[in-house]
Amino acid sequence: MNFQIFFQKMKMDIDKITGFCKEKGFLFPSSHIYGGLKGVFDYGPLGTQLKQNILQQYWNYFLIPHDNIVSQDGSIMLNEKVLEASGHVKNFNDPVAISTKGERMRADHLLEEHFPNMKAETMSYAELLAFMQETDIRIGNDRVAFVEEANLMFSTKTFNGPKCYLRPETCQNIFVNAKLVADLSRLTLPFGICQHGKVFRNEISPQNFVFRCREFEQLELEFFFNPSLVLEPKVAHFEIACSFANGENRLIQLEELIDRVHFWHLHWMRQMLVWLTQHIGLTREKLRLREHHPDELSHYSSATFDVEYLYPIGQESSFKELCGLANRGDYDVSQHAKYSSKNLKFKCPQTGDKLYPHVIELSIGMERLFLAVICDAYEFNMERDYEVLHLKESLSPIEYAIFPLPSKNHEKQLFLDCALDIQSRLKLKHKHTFYETTGSIGKRYARQDSRGTKWCITVDDMTLECRSITIRDRDDKSQRRINIDDFFNEL
Ligand code: ATP
């Protein structure tokens, strides 16, 4: 039997992944000893490190190689004027369905649960209510009585100061600061600013583990450019499934989209897809692009494609948004210029024009990415009879586990000292390590396999006699013997 295919067919659902993450200490509900807080989570030791590794891959790919991309770390609390200018105070709303008993659920999602092929996002609130009443969709046992608008932002107030909001997306700090940051960094168009941080949305129905939370993190890159400059429209091949706004679904070569989207939009779409597949290790067949229907576009966007991942959510797994790739036009900077009465125009070095730059946004939620990474790496291995987490080596929270295997041939302390010495040398190389002396070697391997540890090192008789260790690979269990000094030279 081909085990590989058999494993892939094993049913994995969101509850299994939730339990797995909690049990291994990746992620669990916040305030859990008091019953938790819906839509809010804490990262445990392994989760914190995995998140940190994902973030490092992000900086390595989107920031470090580019002379014209810089980072910033903006505040979470924003003056209400920022969000009035951006349109969030008026437009950052979702439809809430309210039952005859006052229970609330997000109306478009409720409808799509019953009619998965309907595009509820494109329906008006009156249409949503009429349809739900006609088809007798219920919240629990109760009929839907109203569909209302709910703003998703958390507001608060400072002493004697203005009303403020917890930011619902990281990018508004970037738009407010764009001119200042560009001047400080001596950047001219085209350039980018990226940022990572917490955001808050008072989601009506947080659900599906961390897929929809109320507190989460975003990694956003805003790329500013002059749209009137004609660029050589060259984009390297990348094959990916695509769901078009007209309902067509097919495999495309990315460069086919050059007539539909701006060159920079397509360029960054490709960069994101390459990063997700080659640097984060997501399976290409579990990703697809989805074009937003014109009725569904956000108030600022002229074209948006989402990258969707095949999450194990619902009866069957379903493609759901992992990240958004939007052409925001000049909406944001021009709005902030208008509301603040500040000069936020940029001079294009090629044409000399003064303009509000256009922006391509790459917006990815850390929790949705984290969830995709775990789902993609998770396997219940029938042969080993336990869970194995096939994380990419660069993402593994623990890179090396070190196990002394004392025998009667030598004093026990010699094995322990040798293993601890190897661990210290790995730590000096900034490697994440784990040292364990107890339990059978099989149990020790199993614990590390399920935590995603890529390499297990054993220290045995031969280590003491001829300075060689064994290194075991998590994925295929293969072992090789290597001299300790050669091993460190290879690192
Ligand atoms: P959705 O349609 O699923 O509500 P959205 O289109 O409102 O998402 P964006 O505003 O485009 O999401 O946010 C950018 C990214 O932030 C999303 O692609 C997603 O990865 C992440 N994100 C958005 N809302 C949530 C949430 N409630 N919980 C976790 N991640 C989220």
Q: pLDDT tens digits, residue range 73-91?
A: 999 999 999 999 999 999 9
Half-sphere exposure for 425 (CA within 13 Å, toward CB)? 13
Distance CA(315)–CA(224), nearest Å, equals 41
Is 368 a pocket residue for ligand 1 (Cβ < 6 Å)? Answer: yes
Name the residue at shortest CA distance from atom 12 of ligand 1.
324
Q: From the CA of 218, give the closest atom in ligand 1.
A: 16
Name the residue at shortest CA distance from atom 23 of ligand 1.
365
Report the DSSP beta bridge partners of residue 229: none
Of the candidates 88, 87, 130, 132, the one whose C-alpha atom is nearest the C-alpha of residue 106 is 132
Q: What is the pLDDT of residue 6?
A: 39
Name the residue at shortest CA distance from atom 25 of ligand 1.
212
Q: What is the pLDDT of residue 319?
A: 94
Name the residue at shortest CA distance from atom 18 of ligand 1.
323
Q: What is the pLDDT of residue 2?
A: 43
Q: What is the pLDDT of residue 9?
A: 42
Is 472 a pocket residue for ligand 1 (Cβ < 6 Å)? Answer: no
Name the residue at shortest CA distance from atom 26 of ligand 1.
212
User: Which DSSP category does 212 fall into?
Assistant: B
Q: What is the pLDDT of residue 1?
A: 37
Q: What are phi and psi of 136, to 5 degrees?
A: 55, 40
Q: What is the pLDDT of residue 11?
A: 59
Is 321 a pocket residue for ligand 1 (Cβ < 6 Å)? Answer: yes
Name the residue at shortest CA distance from atom 30 of ligand 1.
365
Is 199 a pocket residue for ligand 1 (Cβ < 6 Å)? Answer: no
Is 363 a pocket residue for ligand 1 (Cβ < 6 Å)? Answer: yes
Q: From the CA of 323, give the closest atom in ligand 1.
A: 18
Query: What is the per-residue pLDDT across 287-333, written as a single tens digit (0 to 9) for each?
Result: 999 999 887 777 777 789 999 999 999 877 889 999 999 999 999 99
Of the candidates 42, 44, 50, 54, the one whose C-alpha atom is nearest the C-alpha of residue 24 is 44
Is 367 a pocket residue for ligand 1 (Cβ < 6 Å)? Answer: yes
Q: What is the pLDDT of residue 341?
A: 96
For ligand 1, the distance from its centroid to the CA atom of residue 394, given in whole angstroms, is: 26
Is 365 a pocket residue for ligand 1 (Cβ < 6 Å)? Answer: yes
Name the stretches of the chain with pLDDT < 50.
Answer: 1-10
Q: From the CA of 201, give the closest atom in ligand 1.
A: 27
Q: What is the pLDDT of residue 233?
A: 65
Is 41 a pocket residue for ligand 1 (Cβ < 6 Å)? Answer: no
For ligand 1, the distance from its centroid to the CA atom of residue 167, given in whole angstroms, is: 13
Is 53 a pocket residue for ligand 1 (Cβ < 6 Å)? Answer: no
For ligand 1, the distance from its centroid to the CA atom of residue 323, given in whole angstroms, is: 7
The CA-atom distances, in angstroms, between 403 and each of 27, 82, 386, 422, 424 are 26, 55, 20, 10, 14
What sections of 10-91 are H helices per DSSP? 14-24, 45-58, 80-85, 88-91
